[in-house]
Amino acid sequence: MLLSRILLVEGKRAIKSSFRDAIGKKFDVAVASSGNEASALILSYKPDVIVCDATHMRTNGERICQRLKKMAPNIPLVHCLKEGGDVTQELSMADEVIIHPFTSRKLINRIRTVIPASETDSEVVREGDISLYLGKRSVVVKDKAQQVVDEIQVLLRKGQQINFDFQGTEEDSIKIDPQIFKNILINLLSNAIKYSQEGKEIVLGIDMLAQEMKVRVKDNGMGISESEQVHIFERFFRADAARAGRMQRSCLSRSWPCHRRLDP
């Protein structure tokens, strides 16, 4: 079995704290210490994923990421930033942004979410011009949920905070398209933020059970009437909460299939 090829771009000062050894245990890895070296390796090494580790660079790595992404727009790029980094995912053009402090395991999990499925992979199903990459349709739950919580901080109103309560292990995963899983959490959390008052806590709880995953979002909003609560899991049901003197709130129910991956 061929290992996925990872191009790790890191500063020369990252000798003692380099992630190369950890990444090398899971993937084939090549290391570049500058944008020029990385550009050359893209042509000769042909990586499956690029990781730009700017946690020990003199700069935030934004220009390197932009340069490499323009050169190889179809290669997924993970941008690692030092704590307090002021680069957005849009500016760096990265597919994933991860902010220090983080463990090598978390970085590896993030790499796995963007690795392109192999054309020879037995989990690729094709029908006409459509290809479905089954191997890509899974997420490491805690890592992905924490990523959403971190990204949605910019929407918080004054004094609001999100408490993430995860009951499970670091490796727990579910079979679901990563983007759909992300959209589910963004939908729930953005509504909780919008309809909660300033200074209130929002709780995102995820419980990994034997055969299922439970997601709990608790806010301090106006809520949904008891007469409408019985319908909230009906596909595309919209609650009518326009009430005199109160903020209009609607809840659109969606049907999202997902399955827990049970490893033997």
CATH number of 1-116: 3.40.50.2300
Instruction: Look at 11 and 67; give whichever has higher pLDDT.
Output: 67
Given a cut of 80, whether residue 67 has pLDDT beyond it is: yes
Kindly tell me the burial class for residue 82, based on how many C-beta atoms sit within 10 Å of its own C-beta (0-12, 13-18, 19 or more).
Answer: middle
Rounded Cα distance between 167 and 244, Å, is 40
Query: Of 7-21, 83-97, 229-243, where does the model show the most confidence?
Result: 7-21
Rounded Cα distance between 212 and 59, Å, is 43
Task: Specify the amino acid at residue 26.
Answer: K
CA–centroid distance for 138 within its chain: 11
pTM of the model: 0.51
The reported pLDDT for the residue numbered 212 is 86
Boundaries of every domain in the chain: 1-116, 125-264
Rounded Cα distance between 245 and 236, Å, is 26
The reported pLDDT for the residue numbered 5 is 92
Asked if 236 contacts 217 with a C-beta cutoff of 8 angstroms, the reply is no
Task: Specify the amino acid at residue 134.
Answer: L
Q: Which residues, in sequence order, are bridge partners of residue 91?
A: none
What's the whole-number average pLDDT of the chain? 78
Structure confidence by residue, pLDDT tens digits, 109-143 = 888 878 876 555 545 554 554 445 555 567 889 98
Let me know if the fold of 1-116 is the same as that of 125-264: no
Q: What is the CA radius of gyration of the chain?
A: 21
Span 125-264 CATH architecture: 2-Layer Sandwich (3.30)
Q: What letter would DSSP give residue 134?
A: G
